[in-house]
Amino acid sequence: MTNAEIIMENSMILVADGVLEVEEDGMPEEIHTYSHWKTLGRQVKRGEKAIAKFPIWKYTSKKTEDVSEEEAQKKGYCFQKLSAWFKYSQTEEAKDEKDND
């Protein structure tokens, strides 16, 4: 299962549980991890708790114990990592660190 499929499946469960709303296009509202919201120029508000935690695939090219360094660099590997998910209403526009001077 791809990350997109994992996120969509879990989003539909959150809609059924009343945690997420359905947008006009019939899709559940967007959810992202803390770091992805940051890349979108948003900051998760202080004190907000994740609406869900579920694993997604992460890519690494680091060597594992049973794989040689050369093989790890050639192939790269994926592993599942538990991630915390937030919706748009839990975020605000990120402030520039320069503004704090």
pTM of the model: 0.77
- Please answer whether residues 54 and 11 qualify as being in contact, where contact means their C-beta atoms are separated by less than 8 angstroms: no
Residue at 80 is within a domain: yes
Name the residue range of residue 91's domain. Answer: 3-95
Tell me which of 13 and 63 has the higher pLDDT: 13
Measure the CA–CA gap between 19 and 29, rounded to whole angstroms: 10
Element (H, E) at 26: none
Backbone phi, psi, residue 5, to 5°: -70, -40
Domain count, the chain: 1
Assess if residue 35 is contained within a domain. yes
Report the pLDDT averaged over residues 70-99: 80
Would residue 101 count as lying in a domain?
no
Higher pLDDT, 97 or 80: 80
97: Cβ–Cβ under 8 A, 6 or more apart, which residues?
Answer: none
Q: What is the rounded average pLDDT of the residues 8-18?
A: 95
